[in-house]
Structure 1
């Protein structure tokens, strides 16, 4: 039993060192995504350049620029979750590493309890994500709709407008649920001669849905009428007006990667169970191995 406990301590130290590295990676990645905008911009330029080209060419606005677009601001909540998760993982891993290395058995008991609680929480989250995704989606939609009240269309230069335009073109979608989200929030994107309805070739528009929801961004007033409508909602043939962005993003990020998620979750669960078993074993043998009681 003493040999098994010794082997368990080695396993605990090694795995927790790996988790310390992972936690530091999470923290750094969170900060990079949130604040290193210039590093990330080249990978987003395809869509941004398309938007900028449309506004400059079709609307004749030579001064328009997408330079204010910040991907980190768009996913700031995710970044802060990554940073917080990294800090928590770092603290837990450091606790487990110290406890196992020095045979602090009381720390091992606390460590194992924390791991059990986290494991149960992860099971609950996994069930929620794959069995009741509508709960998460509804919360996402509610949060995103609050950002639409100032959405001023394809010519918008605010972080919110640029974010929505990028998402809608990148994921071929419109609004959180559909284009009516913008109507319900009173978004000013239809303001005549200012935003989406600004003159193209001397002709003002009368869009029924955001231009950014067009499957192909228009280069003339005729194309704008075809894909964004003329006083009424356009046909779905040329517009993504009824394809919600939450569902499209969820499909690409979660549903299309279900196998990878299953593998990662399975490996994590197995590692956590091993850590819990060995942590309990170290605590159980406190009378043999010594340490705090």
Structure 2
């Protein structure tokens, strides 16, 4: 066995053990975010408390609570992707570790092919995200707009309502593309005398945009009129009505972290290329050491 091949086997084993640990972390994190609601809720309380106090003080609904808010339900798709990615990474890492440790050369060939396919898929995904971001964002908008038909405003206690209210306040945005999304999907948030238009200090409202889109949540009817409108949309000075949540989330999560993503992706690509080279070396050495053929 050549020295380079021997060193390659060691690198393959060590790196794949690290990836096994990473995959287990992904799986555990996915389950925690999806199901550990009580553990996550205190970390989101700043926004939830604002929503709760607005409804209790402004609308006089002392029984209102945001306890039903579940961040895991809001990002359930992401959680399942994390879990699935962890399981796939665990299987691939285990395959690579066993193949390198025991010199199963055909296993290493399969492992290298899988890594090449994954690498090509990652390149395509990166190109799509950064060269054609509108394709991804349009898909996100379409998916989110489908959840708006049951949105019943700042007083809503459904998973959809609480989720939208938290997102709109956390990211200073409104709807997927803007406030009109709710009307287009038939959201009942403006139903007369209830929901966002419910009595505040003896006056019912006539909002033009969701109260949750206000830059500062109102505690009386005058402030509600100023930031949510009165028979017509409010001005952008007091409301985020035209700032779509997809663009705002994308900007904060993706665009503001482009450098970090670039570094992480570059390191991952380099590690994968090294693993592919060493896996191919182990396979090429099959005539010398034998192994599973």
- 1:79 matched to 2:64? The reply is no
State how far apart, in whole Å, the 2-side matches of 1:157 and 1:3 are: 65
In structure 2, what is the equivalent of residue 206 of structure 1? Answer: 206
State how far apart, in whole Å, the 1-side matches of 2:2 and 2:258 are: 41
State how far apart, in whole Å, the 2-side matches of 1:220 and 1:55 are: 10
CA offsets 1:85-133 (integer angstroms, 9 cap, x no match): 0000000000000000000000000000000000000000000010000
TM-score, structure 1 as length reference: 0.99
1:231-270 mapped onto 2 (5 Å cutoff): 231-270=231-270
The list of structure 1 runs, each at least 4 consecutive aligned residues, that deviate by more than 3 angstroms after superposition, is none
1:149-160 mapped onto 2 (5 Å cutoff): 149-160=149-160
In structure 2, what is the equivalent of residue 174 of structure 1? Answer: 174
In structure 1, what is the equivalent of residue 39 of structure 2? Answer: 39
- 1:287 matched to 2:271? The reply is no
State how far apart, in whole Å, the 2-side matches of 1:145 and 1:107 are: 45
Query: Where does the alignment leave 5 or more consecutive residues of structure 2 unmatched?
Result: none
- 1:64 matched to 2:64? The reply is yes
In structure 1, what is the equivalent of residue 102 of structure 2? Answer: 102
Q: How far off is 1:11 after superposition?
A: 0.3
Q: How far off is 1:3 after superposition?
A: 1.1
Secondary structure in structure 2 of the residue aligned to 1:234 = coil
CA offsets 1:44-101 (integer angstroms, 9 cap, x no match): 0000000000000000000000000000000000000000000000000000000000
Secondary structure in structure 2 of the residue aligned to 1:196 = helix
Q: How far off is 1:192 after superposition?
A: 1.5
Query: Where does the alignment leave 5 or more consecutive residues of structure 1 unmatched?
Result: none
State how far apart, in whole Å, the 2-side matches of 1:289 and 1:60 are: 79
CA offsets 1:171-195 (integer angstroms, 9 cap, x no match): 0000000000001001000012210
State how far apart, in whole Å, the 1-side matches of 2:289 and 2:215 are: 67
In structure 2, what is the equivalent of residue 196 of structure 1? Answer: 196
Task: Tell me if the contact between 1:12 and 1:278 (Cα under 8 Å) persists in the aligned partners.
Answer: yes
Secondary structure in structure 1 of the residue aligned to 2:195 = coil
Task: Tell me if the contact between 1:2 and 1:288 (Cα under 8 Å) persists in the aligned partners.
Answer: no
State how far apart, in whole Å, the 2-side matches of 1:190 and 1:65 are: 21
State how far apart, in whole Å, the 2-side matches of 1:178 and 1:87 are: 37
In structure 1, what is the equivalent of residue 93 of structure 2? Answer: 93
Secondary structure in structure 1 of the residue aligned to 2:149 = coil
Secondary structure in structure 1 of the residue aligned to 2:147 = coil
